[in-house]
């Protein structure tokens, strides 16, 4: 899995090139709405697309993580069907429904898969990807870049060829700083993993972009480290999740066992956060520290939304793998997911 995470920069470059070969830069017109159909590590591509397009995007972007498309989806809309394997049951159902309703379709997944067949039959663009480490979550950039390229062609995002290369270079830099041979005190991935070990992380983003990173980190901790995590976004988290700071995992008791599990607040900061949200972040951190809850910070930095996303996601991915290795766990298998799928398959 470490090798797969280290391939992130290559994924960006290869996906950008594959998107061009699939004709995505030639897309024209503006859809009424965009729907991204996908599950798990493929479905997060929709969240990333919405984060890159930003609040100023003139059309709504909805991510569907189920078999059924919303009732309003029709011929005026664009549906991205994203499945790393090209065989995900829910995504295939959504793609088939999109074609039936006359919506435009763009598909991203494995070549020669059922999803590929649907795209060919619908004369829809298809971008082939190869799963890194055999897992969708390790192929985030390969699955996401085609959507961003398409959105840019439709006038919904602004990245430019230099922007994709800049993001790739950011990911290369993170791979160097988080390399396995780097000592923990200078390796930000290992440092964050050590901070998270033995805690229940409550991960907050301070903008829609870093909220996507918070969700990504929580899912990566779940799948790579087999570890629980809670994610949220300010200012909303200040209206509910913050009360967990007064709960049993936050209280510091001088007589408590030092080895007991405690909460850790992880703040994913964005250079473009709203001033009022920035103030809420400062107050939330102070409240946590007053209660003895330790705080970690991840900074999303860069000149563009794609660069900012890359800086934070790159670090989050490495931290999740190092946490798994710290517990002597193999980060690659997802046995519980496979068992669930197998049991369901026997019933249908």
pLDDT tens series, the chain, 348 aa:
999 999 999 999 999 999 999 999 999 999 999 999 999 999 999 999 999 999 999 999 999 999 999 999 999 999 999 999 999 999 999 999 999 999 999 999 999 999 999 999 999 999 999 887 789 999 999 999 999 999 999 999 999 889 999 999 999 999 999 999 999 999 999 999 999 999 999 999 999 999 999 999 999 999 999 999 999 999 999 999 999 999 999 866 656 666 578 999 999 999 999 999 999 999 999 999 999 999 999 999 999 999 999 999 999 999 999 999 999 999 999 999 999 999 998 887
Question: What residues does 266 pair with on adjacent strands?
Answer: 203, 296
Q: 183 and 145 in one domain?
A: no
Is 180 contained in some domain?
yes
133 lies in the same domain as 175: no
Question: Is the same domain home to 230 and 309?
Answer: yes
Cβ proximity of 227 and 217 under 8 Å: no
- Whether 293 contacts 197, CB under 8 Å: no
Co-location of 187 and 321 in the same domain: yes
Helices 140-153 and 40-53 pack at an angle, to 10 degrees, of 40
Look at residue 134 in the predicted model and tell me its pLDDT. Answer: 83
Same domain, residue pair 202 and 99: no
Q: Are residues 171 and 309 in the same domain?
A: yes
Domain that holds residue 184: 167-326
182 and 288 fall within a common domain? yes
**Other C-beta atoms within 10 Å of 348: how many?**
5
Other CB atoms within 10 Å distance of the CB of residue 139: 25
Task: Please tell me the predicted confidence (pLDDT) of residue 250.
Answer: 87
Position 251 in a domain? yes
CA–CA separation, 61 and 63 (whole Å): 7
Same domain (yes/no): 151, 171: no
- Are 189 and 153 in a shared domain? no
**In this structure, is residue 56 part of a structural domain?**
yes
Of the candidates 158, 185, 210, which is a domain's last residue? 158
Domain-ending residue, one of 123, 158, 193: 158
Q: Residue 345 falls within a domain, yes or no?
A: no
The answer to the question of residue 105 being in a domain is yes
**Does residue 341 sit within a domain?**
no
Residues 181 and 288 in one domain: yes
- Please tell me whether residues 249 and 199 are part of one structural domain: yes
CATH code of the domain in which 214 resides: 3.40.50.10490
- Residue 306 is assigned to a structural domain of this protein: yes
Quick one: pLDDT at residue 257?
61
* Helices within the chain (DSSP H only): 2-6, 8-21, 40-53, 89-101, 114-121, 140-153, 161-177, 188-196, 208-224, 275-290, 305-326, 335-347
* Rounded-to-integer distance, Cα 196 and Cα 211, Å: 18
**Which residue, 125, 158, 191, sits at the end of a domain?**
158
Most distant CA atoms of the chain, gap in Å:
68
Q: Are 152 and 159 in contact (CB under 8 A)?
A: yes
| Count of structural domains, the chain | 2
Q: Is residue 219 domain-shared with residue 284, that is, in the same domain?
A: yes
Residue 347 belongs to a domain: no
């Amino acid at each position: 899995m470490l090798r797969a995470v280290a391939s992130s920069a290559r994924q960006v470059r290869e996906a950008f090139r594959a998107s061009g070969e699939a004709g995505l830069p030639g897309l024209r017109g503006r859809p009424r709405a965009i729907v991204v159909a996908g599950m798990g590590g493929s479905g997060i591509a929709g969240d990333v697309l919405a984060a890159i397009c930003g609040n100023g995007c003139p059309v709504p972007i909805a991510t569907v993580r189920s078999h059924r498309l919303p009732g309003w989806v029709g011929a005026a809309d664009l549906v991205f069907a994203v499945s790393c394997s090209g065989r995900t049951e829910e995504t295939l159902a959504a793609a088939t429904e999109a074609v039936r309703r006359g919506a435009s379709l763009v598909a991203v997944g494995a070549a020669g898969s059922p999803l590929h067949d649907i795209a060919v039959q619908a004369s829809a663009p298809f971008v082939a990807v190869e799963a890194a480490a055999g897992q969708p979550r390790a192929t985030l950039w390969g699955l996401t870049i085609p959507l961003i390229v398409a959105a840019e062609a439709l006038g919904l995002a602004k990245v430019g060829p230099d922007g994709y290369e800049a993001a790739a270079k950011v990911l290369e830099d993170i791979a160097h700083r988080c390399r396995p041979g780097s000592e923990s005190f200078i390796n930000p991935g290992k440092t964050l993993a050590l901070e998270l070990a033995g805690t229940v992380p409550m991960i907050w983003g301070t903008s829609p972009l870093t909220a996507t990173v918070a969700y990504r980190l929580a899912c990566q901790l779940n799948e790579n480290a087999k570890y629980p995590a809670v994610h949220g976004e300010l200012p909303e988290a200040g209206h509910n999740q913050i009360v967990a700071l007064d709960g049993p995992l936050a209280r510091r008791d001088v007589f408590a066992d030092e080895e007991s599990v405690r909460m850790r607040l992880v703040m994913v900061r964005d250079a473009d956060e709203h001033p009022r949200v920035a103030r809420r972040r400062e107050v939330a951190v102070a409240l946590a520290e007053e209660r003895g809850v330790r705080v970690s910070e991840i900074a999303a930095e860069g000149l563009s939304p794609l660069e900012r996303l890359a800086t934070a996601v790159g670090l989050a991915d490495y931290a999740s793998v190092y946490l798994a290795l710290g517990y002597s766990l193999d980060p690659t298998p997802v046995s519980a997911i496979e068992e669930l799928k197998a049991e369901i398959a026997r019933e249908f």
